[in-house]
Amino acid sequence: MNGMCPHPKERVQLALQREADAQSRGDVTSPSEMPPFVFVVNIALPGPPNCHIMVFYYAVGDLSTIDGSDSTPSSKLSQEFFFGKDDTFRDNQHLQINPSNH
């Protein structure tokens, strides 16, 4: 299963396509529907009899809150996670969702 985010009918993809269409028509007066940054978490829980899919959208209107420029600890952490030069930080257990059977 590849997830929903890249699907052409998914809401972020549709908004991006509308913006691309407006730009190709030369319509530069249309306001952008998209915030400067969107982080999407797509979780699929397979199992009989159905597969359950959850999609969480996190939209950021002010990039300084995640690019490290406002000097807060969360901004510095976000900068390294989202915009780091390699996957080392992301791969070293900084975002995990672990199932638990109790």
pLDDT tens for each residue of 29-70: 767 777 888 888 878 788 888 888 888 888 898 999 999 999
Q: What is the pLDDT of residue 72?
A: 92
The beta-strand segments (E) located in 8-102 are 37-45, 52-60
pTM of the predicted model as reported, rounded to 2 decimal places = 0.63
User: 9 pLDDT exceeds 70?
Assistant: yes
Measured from the Cβ of residue 78, the count of other Cβ atoms closer than 10 Å reads 19
